Structure 1
Amino acid sequence: MLDAFDAERRELTLSELARRADMPLSTAHRLLNEFCAWGAVERNDKGLYRIGLRLWELGSLAPRGPGLRETALPFLEDLSLITRENVQLAVREGTEVVFVERIAGSGAVPVLTRVGGRFALTATGVGLVLLAHAPAEVQEDVLGSPIDRYTANTVTDPSRLRRMLADTRSNGFSISDRQVTMDSLSVGAPIRDRHGAVIAAVSLVVRHGSTTAHALAPLVRTSGQAISRALSA
């Protein structure tokens, strides 16, 4: 039932929730009363239901979410201050990217991502980093499934994506050139735990044509390494 809510549907009626959750109206009503009592769901003065603060409080305990964000935030802010561009922090959840933090630079190119939002691993700078370092079975699952296309530049050919992932591992950074929107360029770098495993990724998203990926790469890699050291400490 909680999955019935999303970025486009933040407030729903009882009937809408029952229909989207594919359950009888009476069952939905009983569950919503329980959720409201616990604080997972709230009901406004118009009778619409929305996600409650109790879920946010519980979510703040997730180590790969706010815990990672708190450690990384000073370095993300530094990168944003230096570049005045979009800075993003993300983790992998299954075969998708989940964005943990995003700082929008002044005058930076608009992006489609949001904190808490999900995206395909194959298109974004952070996604390519996370996919490049994902277990082999995850890579095969992603590359063996239909690949979403967002622009004419989105790479959907599995063979070409495999080469891009190999380059990402070899170079220490990823490049997503106009794969999500035709006016953006993203460069991502890995964040590692104390054992060297890639647990997250950081990226810069800039307006296409404003600079080159190789000019951004040292900045992004340095931020990824600094966050990795802070997490290990």
Structure 2
Amino acid sequence: MARTSAGRSSLSRAVDLLDAFDSGSVYLTATELAARAGSPVSTTHRLLGELTALGLVERSPDRTYRIGARIWEWSARSPGAAGLRAAALPHLQKVHHAVRQHAQIGILVGQDVLFIERLTAPDAVVNYSVIGQRLPALASSSGLVQLAWLPEAEQEAAIAGGVRHYTPLTVTEPDRIRHRLAEIRRAGYVANDGFIHTAARGIAVPLRGHQDDVLGALSVIVPNDAAPVRPYVSLLQNAAAAIARDYAALTRGRLA
């Protein structure tokens, strides 16, 4: 693999350019991409030419760039996130129909949770999650319910990374986070009341694979009111069990 003058590979720098896009900035100029990626403008132009030729980015008439459709093609072939989404979607739709708020699927990526599917309603409570976007795992119900089943060393790495106060209700103190993760593991679910927005409550359960490993999280975002949590938890746990069954069949090639 060719190396740049700074000793980093061209592939590494190309990935930095792709990472520079986010849900709030889907169209970026070469100059903006260079600034976000910390890459020289000349190197950025060269890499963008190669990425465009490969279909990994697309150039618009106004000279801005966007993520290319070929990346979507690759992700659609993945047995991981794409397979989980395919198995989950019918059951996610039922959950969404029942709560008439937000229902979503998130997977853990490092110390963040990445949302791979989300269903919502026009008059639903505020929700900061967006498909293809990440939130800090320690602040998100979808993240916490997955962190709870990680080895202690990985939990400690996430805790050491810290999390900012989104609201006065966000739990940020290391000892309280540890206690909360242990509590989530015992209960089998999490309910975050006002962690990211005071008006919203996130409730999540783990999605499990063939060997009871945690593949992701199924969650709802509902109003942070006095409604009991247990009916939501039961709804999510029943859906999670059905998703696990269909995911197992899908990955074994037996889903009808």
TM range (shorter): over 0.9
SS of the residue corresponding to residue 202 of structure 1 reads strand
Whether 1:151 aligns to 2:167 is: yes
Cα pair 1:151 1:181 within 8 Å, conserved? yes
Query: What does residue 210 of structure 2 align with?
Result: 194
Cα pair 1:94 1:138 within 8 Å, conserved? no
Cα distance in 2 for residues equivalent to 1:190 and 1:140: 20
Whether 1:105 aligns to 2:121 is: yes
> Residue by residue, what CA displacement relative to the aligned partner does 1:89-117 show, whole Å, maximum 9, x if unpaired?
01111111011111103522120000111
SS of the residue corresponding to residue 122 of structure 1 reads helix
Query: What pairs with 1:1-233 in structure 2 (closer than 5 Å)?
Result: 1-209=17-225, 211-233=227-249
Residue 195 of structure 1 deviates from its aligned partner by 0.5
Cα pair 2:139 2:163 within 8 Å, conserved? no
> Residue by residue, what CA displacement relative to the aligned partner does 1:159-198 show, whole Å, maximum 9, x if unpaired?
1111211121111111111001010111110111111111
Bigger CA drift: 56-65 or 70-79? 56-65
Q: Percent identity?
A: 36
Runs of 4+ in 1 over 6 A off after TM superposition: none
Structure 1 length-normalised TM = 0.95
Residue 9 of structure 1 deviates from its aligned partner by 2.0
1:115 partner letter: I
1:65 partner letter: A
The CA RMSD measured in Å over matched residues stands at: 1.4
Cα distance in 1 for residues equivalent to 2:160 and 2:41: 39
* Structure 2 segments unaligned to the other structure (5+ residues): 1-16, 250-256
Cα pair 2:146 2:214 within 8 Å, conserved? yes
Cα distance in 1 for residues equivalent to 2:91 and 2:149: 22
SS of the residue corresponding to residue 99 of structure 1 reads strand
Structure 2 length-normalised TM = 0.87
